Amino acid sequence: MLADAARDYVLSQGQVVEVRRRILRADPSLEPFHDIANAPFGAALQEWLEGEGTPSFRAGITAALVLAVVREAFLVWDPDDGLDAFAALMNEGFRTAAEVNFTFAPH
């Protein structure tokens, strides 16, 4: 499952993730640079999806959703709670993304 693979990859970078979170917690003005640092992950994910036969548009949306879940989990995660807490937040985020109903009724 894509969510499992993304979560496992992020957690494999645990020490780096923890240090980045502590730095950004200490200086939130650096947040835009963190987004830039994560861009290659999104690009690699989209490229992999396309290589697996996913159409480019769908691959781009899927990669963006994965990045959004990881980013939001990262922003609320307290590294003092450990990587298991970060994994739990990502799991909750992926479940939430899977449950979203994008059907909009006109006013």
In whole numbers, what is the pLDDT of the chain averaged over residues? 91
pLDDT the model gives residue 37: 85
pLDDT higher than threshold 70 for residue 107: no
Every domain of the chain and the residues it spans: 2-97
pLDDT higher than threshold 70 for residue 6: yes
The model's pLDDT over 27-68, given as tens digits with 9 standing for 90+, comes to 999 988 888 888 898 999 999 999 999 999 999 999 999 999
Q: What is the pTM of this model?
A: 0.86
The model's pLDDT over 64-106, given as tens digits with 9 standing for 90+, comes to 999 999 999 999 999 999 999 999 999 999 999 998 877 766 6
- DSSP for the chain, written as a single string: -HHHHHHHHHHHTHHHHHHHHHHHHH-GGGHHHHHHHHHHHHHHHHHHHHHTT--HHHHHHHHHHHHHHHHHHHHH--GGG-HHHHHHHHHHHHHHHHH--------
